[in-house]
Amino acid sequence: MRFLETKELYKIYEVGGQEVHALDGVSVAIDRGEFVAIMGPSGSGKSTFMNIIGCLDEPTRGDYFLDGIEVAGLDRDELAEIRNRKVGFVFQGFNLLPRTSALENVELPMLYNNLSAAERKKRAMDALRMLGLKGREQHAPSQLSGGQQQRVAIARALANEAPLLLADEPTGNLDTKTSVEIMELLKGLNSASGITIVLVTHEPEIAAYSRRIIRFRDGRVQSDEATGSS
């Protein structure tokens, strides 16, 4: 069984009395442990696809399976449960709480998993240290560089031990040197831990870190090919 699979996925919006197909019959299969980049121009459907596989949105029709669970058709509470247990998110804007320490930011998603305070702190500390942030645990986001803030965001995504990491333009607010550091970090995490990573980017040099690139256009998969990266 594939780790992540969509079958004939459609997302249709009503705009001015007309149907707009944000996704138009998308079928994609991703195995556990893959590192996949999603590319495409604005309006191609890549962000809609990311939102659906992250359980942030629902398809108009079609099937979606994540880690053996049939996701399409679940209600909001069930989607939230799947999202919390199965998916970690990393965004372009970091999305850290400004008046909260790095440690507390990483602990936040674990509040919904019935973990003890001690276990939450241990997982958060371990994730921050793994990402090179030992000694920065009590720093607020304003006291961290952009690259350090993104590392905190990645630590937050990993601390829940979700098997899927979704990264939406994770280097979009970073300079070239820091972008390379973050991508090397994600590549290393994928190789070392086997976590499945799906990355949305418009930059070919960022997509090249993945092992596979799926290109979207007009709501459809235009191409799907290996990169040769190892």
pLDDT digits (tens, 9 = 90+) for 152-187: 999 999 988 899 999 999 998 899 999 999 999 999
**Domain count for the chain:** 1
Specify if 81 maps to a domain: yes
Specify if 124 maps to a domain: yes
Specify if 102 maps to a domain: yes
Place 84 in a pLDDT band, splitting at 50, 70 and 90.
confident
Which range marks the domain in which residue 37 is found?
Answer: 32-58+75-226
CATH code at position 104: 3.40.50.300
Q: What are the backbone dihedrals phi and psi of residue 48, each rounded to the nearest 5 degrees, phi first?
A: -60, -45
Which of 151-154's residues contact partners 24+ apart within 8 Å by CB, and which partners? 151/182, 151/185, 152/94, 152/96, 152/102, 152/105, 152/106, 152/128, 153/90, 153/91, 153/94, 153/95, 153/96, 153/105, 154/90, 154/182, 154/185, 154/186, 154/189
Task: Provide the angle, in degrees to the nearest 10, between the axes of the packed helices 117-130 and 146-159.
Answer: 130
Longest dimension (CA), the chain: 56
Q: For 98-138, what is each residue's pLDDT tens digit?
A: 999 999 999 988 888 888 999 999 999 999 999 999 999 99
Q: Distance between CA atoms of 173 and 129, rounded to whole angstroms?
A: 23
What integer best gives the mean pLDDT of the chain?
Answer: 92
